[in-house]
């Protein structure tokens, strides 16, 4: 059995080492408001603090943990900035910290992108981050990110949990997979027993300590394998799912190669990631194309060192029909530590449970969405814009453009689509049979935009504004349910985004 001592940092409001006999800290630093890093010297080591309680919980479960404190929370406002959080994570990478406990996060969309970027940077450098979800709102950054172990307490859990137990939800709608019941009490230096409040921020250090104990006993400690080991130890773990890993979002992506079967796909421009190369796959059939893809990877080692993700875009084909070929590709990508996105016609499920070897590759395919269970509600508070695309290739571009304009004017806008390749543009994939993903306010957004591209499907939504993208060369016969909506805006393929934004905004103000 492997046993090693790892470095664990608590990013919080500081740690007072004597209150709970925590022991010496390897580092005790503060990231100031102006992003200067300095040693912490003026703390009463017997005082209570949030970070001190987190440290006590960790030490009770992982007594050998080598702790450090990174203070970013202001003692008066009890807040910090996203820039301080980013700086503190960068500092942890520089100091080769192995695990970070973050009993904090943000629901401000303006903070999301810099935090996503630093989390992905940290993950590539081997740092495992455990973070608390917001106590009131679903989506929280960084807890909801794929490269983070997100934690909530078990107050609203459907599974009854005892002390030091947790449940693992692989298909959590908000991306936060763990519901945990932390330790119930700790004892201070006076011998006084303190009851631990049931909240996300104190459930998180329990999971952080559990992660520490897992990582001390295994070699390959990438984020996927650590999550898999956590899943195995959950009270609701089911045998046969130990090799199964699903990413709801592709927020891990930074640089990618796009492989496609259609020449026209080479025109795709992603605002979400850097597609460093686009390759048109040749071959007489799908198996031949997949063989050529693997051959390309083998002979382009330099390119493989640059990218983190392979995207296969063949939306008119059933790639996942060839499971064994896909598994060979996954095994090959695993050797390089690369991830995989497959976009095909979705006719066949990608059966990841049949993978024989443990993998560290993150995988995205639309068939995995059938497992997401979200209670559908019609009590959506934010305005809904639905875009019907009769041209066939514009809605994603229009939605992203509108999203940027809304956010530039201070509105938190989320955009989704029923078109699978919309994820490459940065849209949330929401299948028509999972429209509850829109109506449950997971993001607590100000505005939601939903794109409908397959016009043969039935969409049961009541939008506040409907946008029809039509071709100047065709005559559109609208469905009665669409035509009855008074707030309809018609645009063509030469749509002026600024004008469309103003037209929508004017309808909201009426």
What is the three-state SS of 298-318? HCCHHHHHHCCEEEEECCCCC
Asked if 62 and 126 sit in the same domain, the reply is: yes
Within-domain flag for 241:
no
Identify the active-site residue in 28, 50, 157, 395: 50
- Residue (of 276, 11, 300, 277) closest to 130 by Cα position: 11
Within-domain flag for 137:
yes
Asked if 196 and 51 sit in the same domain, the reply is: yes
Q: What is the pLDDT of residue 377?
A: 45
What residue numbers bound the domain in which 191 lies?
7-232
Q: 336: buried, middle or exposed (CB in 10 Å: 19+, 13-18, 0-12)?
A: middle
* Separation CA 419–CA 229 (nearest Å): 33
Q: What is the pLDDT of residue 230?
A: 93
Strand boundaries in 62-159, DSSP class E: 66-71, 99-102, 128-132, 149-153
* Separation CA 28–CA 70 (nearest Å): 6
Paired strand residues for 508? none
Asked if 47 and 164 sit in the same domain, the reply is: yes
* Separation CA 64–CA 5 (nearest Å): 7
- 3-state class of 19 per DSSP? coil
| Beta-sheet strand order (sheet of 413-417) | 428-429, 413-417, 447-452, 384-389, 465-469, 488-491
Asked if 83 and 173 sit in the same domain, the reply is: yes
* Separation CA 267–CA 269 (nearest Å): 6
- Residue (of 351, 367, 342) closest to 433 by Cα position: 367
Q: What is the pLDDT of residue 44?
A: 67
Asked if 209 and 352 sit in the same domain, the reply is: no
Using the structure block, give the residue that is written with the tokens 């990174």: 70
Cα(first)–Cα(last) distance of the chain, in Å?
A: 68
Q: Could you tell me the two tokens for 333?
A: 């990508």
Within-domain flag for 239:
no
Note if 316 is an active site residue: no
Note if 169 is an active site residue: no
- Residue (of 281, 368, 369) closest to 325 by Cα position: 281
* Separation CA 449–CA 478 (nearest Å): 20
Number of other residues whose CB lies within 10 A of the CB of residue 469: 25
Asked if 129 and 17 sit in the same domain, the reply is: yes
* Separation CA 460–CA 464 (nearest Å): 13
Q: Could you tell me the two tokens for 463?
A: 């939008």
Within-domain flag for 27:
yes
Q: What is the pLDDT of residue 376?
A: 41
The residue from 326, 346, 371 where one domain ends is 371
- Number of structural domains (the chain) is 3
Asked if 267 and 402 sit in the same domain, the reply is: no
Q: Could you tell me the two tokens for 2?
A: 């492997």
Angle at 121 between CA 403 and CA 249, to 5 degrees: 45
Using the structure block, give the residue that is written with the tokens 């030490």: 59
* Cis bond upstream, residue 142 (ω within 30): yes
Query: 99 with 208: CB under 8 angstroms?
Result: yes
The residue from 325, 344, 371 where one domain ends is 371
- Residue (of 150, 153, 140) closest to 197 by Cα position: 153
Residues lower than pLDDT 70 in the chain: 1-4, 42-46, 156-157, 239-246, 353-359, 370-380, 433-441, 454-460, 472-486, 510
* Separation CA 413–CA 425 (nearest Å): 15
Q: What is the pLDDT of residue 335?
A: 84
* Separation CA 263–CA 240 (nearest Å): 40
The residue from 232, 264, 285 where one domain ends is 232
Asked if 12 and 122 sit in the same domain, the reply is: yes
Asked if 363 and 433 sit in the same domain, the reply is: no
DSSP H/E element including 181:
strand 178-181
Q: What is the pLDDT of residue 435?
A: 65
Identify the active-site residue in 182, 201, 210, 260: 201
* Separation CA 415–CA 427 (nearest Å): 5
Q: Which residues does 434 contact at the CB level (< 8 Å), separation at least 6? A: 369, 372, 374
Query: 315 with 345: CB under 8 angstroms?
Result: yes
Using the structure block, give the residue that is written with the tokens 């990618």: 256
């Amino acid at each position: 059995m492997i046993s090693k001592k790892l470095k664990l940092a608590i990013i919080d409001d500081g740690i007072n080492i004597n209150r709970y006999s925590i022991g010496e800290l390897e580092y005790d630093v503060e990231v100031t408001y102006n992003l200067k890093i300095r040693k912490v010297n003026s703390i009463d080591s017997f005082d209570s603090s949030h970070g001190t309680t987190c440290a006590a919980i960790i030490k009770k479960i992982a007594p050998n943990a080598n702790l450090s404190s990174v203070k970013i929370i202001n003692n008066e406002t009890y807040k910090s900035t996203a820039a301080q959080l980013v700086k503190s994570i960068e500092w942890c990478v520089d100091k080769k910290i192995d695990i970070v406990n973050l009993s904090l996060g943000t629901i401000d969309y303006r903070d999301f992108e810099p935090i996503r970027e630093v989390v992905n940077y940290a993950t590539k450098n081997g740092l495992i981050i455990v973070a608390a979800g917001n106590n009131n709102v679903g989506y929280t950054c960084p807890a909801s990110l794929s490269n983070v172990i997100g934690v909530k307490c078990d107050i609203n859990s459907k599974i009854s949990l005892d002390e030091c137990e947790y449940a693992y939800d692989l298909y959590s709608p908000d991306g936060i997979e763990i519901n945990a019941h932390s330790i119930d009490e700790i004892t201070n230096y006076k011998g006084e027993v303190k009851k631990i409040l049931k909240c996300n921020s104190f459930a998180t250090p329990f999971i952080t300590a559990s992660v520490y104990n897992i990582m001390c006993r295994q070699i390959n400690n990438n984020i996927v394998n650590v999550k898999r080991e956590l899943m195995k130890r959950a009270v609701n773990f089911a045998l046969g799912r130990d090799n199964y890993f699903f990413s709801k979002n592709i927020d891990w992506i930074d640089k990618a190669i796009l492989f496609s079967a259609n020449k026209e796909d080479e025109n795709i421009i992603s605002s979400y990631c850097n597609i460093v190369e686009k390759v048109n796959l040749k071959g007489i059939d799908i198996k031949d194309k997949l063989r050529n893809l693997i051959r390309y990877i083998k002979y382009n080692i330099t390119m493989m060192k640059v990218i983190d993700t392979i995207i296969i875009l063949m939306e008119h084909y059933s790639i996942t029909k060839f499971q064994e070929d896909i598994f060979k590709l996954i095994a090959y990508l695993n050797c390089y530590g690369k991830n995989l996105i497959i976009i095909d016609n979705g006719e066949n499920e990608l059966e990841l449970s049949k993978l024989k070897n443990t993998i560290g590759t993150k995988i995205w395919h639309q068939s995995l969405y059938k497992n997401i269970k979200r209670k559908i509600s019609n009590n959506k508070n934010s305005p809904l814009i639905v875009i019907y695309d009769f041209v066939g290739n514009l809605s994603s571009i229009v939605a992203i453009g509108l999203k940027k304009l809304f956010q530039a004017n201070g509105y938190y806008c989320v955009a989704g689509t029923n078109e699978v390749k919309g994820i490459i543009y940065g849209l949330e994939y929401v299948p028509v049979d999972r429209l509850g993903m829109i109506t449950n306010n997971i993001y607590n957004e100000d505005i939601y935009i939903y794109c409908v591209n397959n016009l043969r499907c039935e969409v049961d939504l009541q939008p506040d504004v409907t946008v029809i993208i039509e071709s100047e060369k065709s005559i559109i016969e609208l469905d009665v349910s669409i035509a009855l909506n008074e707030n309809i805006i018609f645009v063509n393929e030469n749509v002026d985004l600024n004008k469309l934004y103003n037209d929508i905004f004017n309808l909201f103000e009426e």
